[in-house]
Structure 1
Amino acid sequence: MTGGRPVGGALLTPPHGESPIVVLVRPQMAANIGTAARAMANGGLFHLRIVAPRDGWPQPNAYAAASGADAILDAATIHPDIRSAVADCHRVFGTCPRPRHVIIPVRDARAAAQDFRNINARCLRLAVLFGPERAGLEADDLAHCDTLIRYPLNPQHNSLNLAQAVMILAYEWWMQAETAPPRLLQTNETRIATKGELEKFLDRLIAELDAAGFLHNPPKRPGMVRNLRHWFERGEVTEQELRTLHGVVTELARGRMVRGRFAGDVPDPPWEEKT
């Protein structure tokens, strides 16, 4: 018994519907994975994915620290990178103490939990990224997110370990009423695209931009690619919108080929820089 309640695996069966997926990105210590699973169990979060754990998996010390949340660790899946960990998700949130130089929605833990309930009610799958213990999520990690979560704590001592960060969000999820009204997005006959579908489009778009010379400046290229990702990740792109965007890229690529062959017949666009 812990706090008057049993901690056996029998109580760790997910309820009807799907709770948010906790994604631990490059966790460094087995004990922190275990205590994060313990925090998840306390707050009713049941789905754990682990990205590139430093010491591999499984790890006995994780189970020792989980205090009975073994079922969550048993069901955890291991992924080589964030992209594969969230490919089947429709929304991805990321925890970030001080988001800088990013134009992206930012929520506190309570508001994020409200969003989780609304998204869950719409049968969309969402994931929440938690970064490594030492430095948190990096800029390239945050580029996979459409929303950031910030914990507005004491600015003179704003330091959480991994399990504490998970616990705050798990608590807020647990405290949200199940009857929170969903925020509906009218999609008609299409559907919200998964992150995997969006990644395929972004790969194609970036490849075409490389071929066109738009990303020709090596020092600026990573930041430009991240800006493109943030732009498309910011909202819930539908599958029909992605099909339209694929068509746009196809026509632009054809135009680039024609322009390359008949450069003398096609004038430069007015916004193109002159060298």
Structure 2
Amino acid sequence: MPTDTPQPSFVLVRPQMGENIGAAARAMWNFSLDRMRIVAPRDGWPNPNAVAMASGAGRLLDEAQLFEDIAGATGDCTFVFATTARPRDLTKPVYSPEEAMREAARRIGEGQRVAVMFGPERAGMENDDIAQANAIISVPVNPGFASLNLAQCVLLCAYEWQRASTEVTPLREEMAGTDWAEVAEVNHLARHYEETLETAGFFFPEHKADSMKLNLRNLWSRMPLTRVDVQMLHGIMRQMVRWKTHQAVAARDADKKKPD
């Protein structure tokens, strides 16, 4: 069983080589981290190459959670970081590994659930992946050689977590009777707005629709929402739809009453 120590979950997104998954497990366990989540590994799961490379950290692989997509892997979290070594055209808070793990320690000290996503070895995560995160961890690598091995990136963040978690005193933020919204709840809210706006013809012109939807998803992931916030925003959209329907019915009835 995983330890009871409060800590972030490390999410490996579409990892390609079993050896790198095993090396990531070793890097995590070096710094007492044992919450590994794996999204759609290229070579399937379980992977014997991962087990061989993990050596004394094989327990992490036995307990690793497997998911089909990022939404499932981060759905129970309240804050998600995405690691990248490349600049991105997305408006998000950007942290160094040290700053990010200090922020993770602060949030976890408040009782939040935090995840850190790591992309596949070949090219890292796509913008659609990163749009689902609340913030970016930018690793300050040599711009002329920005390729960073998966396990190296995991080791870097795990080391900074160990430093931060021993320095930060847990705090409780006054939440006025509510909790931070989980990623799954924010994703449901995002789908509600996207589907309603699609019906309303908001995503126009058609050739800009995909980028508009990406920007909207990115907006939701940047906002620190509580569960009460999410419920209110659902209610706002539902009421706007009801009002529009009421107006349409009233206009139709008024037309019927007009003399021929």
The verdict on a shared fold, with TM-score over 0.5 as the criterion, is: yes
The aligned residue for residue 154 of structure 2 is 166
Within the candidate set 143, 153, 156, 1:155 is matched to 143
* Post-superposition offset of 1:144: 0.7
The residue type paired with residue 48 of structure 1 is M
Distance 1:263 1:33, change over 3 A: farther
Q: Is the 8 A contact 1:210 1:216 kept in 2?
A: no
Q: Is the 8 A contact 1:48 1:77 kept in 2?
A: yes
Q: Which has the higher helix share?
A: 2
Does residue 120 (structure 1) correspond to residue 108 (structure 2)? The answer is yes
Distance 1:127 1:177, change over 3 A: closer
* Post-superposition offset of 1:55: 1.1
The residue type paired with residue 16 of structure 2 is Q
Does residue 90 (structure 1) correspond to residue 90 (structure 2)? The answer is no
The residue type paired with residue 140 of structure 2 is P
Q: Is the 8 A contact 1:94 1:147 kept in 2?
A: yes
The aligned residue for residue 243 of structure 2 is 255
The residue type paired with residue 54 of structure 1 is R
When the two structures are aligned, how many residues end up with a matched partner?
A: 254
Does residue 233 (structure 1) correspond to residue 216 (structure 2)? The answer is no
Instruction: Describe how 1:203-214 pairs up with structure 2 within 5 A.
Output: 203-214=191-202
The aligned residue for residue 185 of structure 2 is 197
Unaligned stretches of 5+ in structure 1? 1-11, 266-275
Looking at structure 2, the residues matched to 79 and 105 of structure 1 have their Cα atoms a distance apart, in angstroms, of: 26
The residue type paired with residue 32 of structure 2 is G
Give the share of equivalent positions with the same residue, in percent. Answer: 41
Does residue 68 (structure 1) correspond to residue 56 (structure 2)? The answer is yes
The residue type paired with residue 11 of structure 2 is V
- The Cα RMSD (Å) is 2.0
Unaligned stretches of 5+ in structure 2? 254-260
Runs of 4+ that moved beyond 6 A: none
Instruction: Describe how 1:131-150 pairs up with structure 2 within 5 A.
Output: 131-150=119-138
Q: How big is each residue's C-alpha offset from its partner over 1:100-146, in whole Å with a ceiling of 9 and x where there is no partner? A: 22111000000111011111111111111111110101011011100
Secondary structure at the aligned position of 1:78 is classed as strand
Q: Is the 8 A contact 1:23 1:50 kept in 2?
A: yes
Distance 1:177 1:29, change over 3 A: closer
Q: How big is each residue's C-alpha offset from its partner over 1:145-165, in whole Å with a ceiling of 9 and x where there is no partner? A: 001001112222222110001
The 10-residue stretch of structure 1 (169-178 or 130-139) with the greater mean CA deviation from structure 2: 169-178
* Post-superposition offset of 1:36: 0.8
Looking at structure 2, the residues matched to 179 and 131 of structure 1 have their Cα atoms a distance apart, in angstroms, of: 28
Looking at structure 1, the residues matched to 197 and 169 of structure 2 have their Cα atoms a distance apart, in angstroms, of: 41
- Superposition TM-score, scaled by structure 1 size: 0.86
The residue type paired with residue 61 of structure 1 is N
Q: Is the 8 A contact 2:85 2:141 kept in 1?
A: no
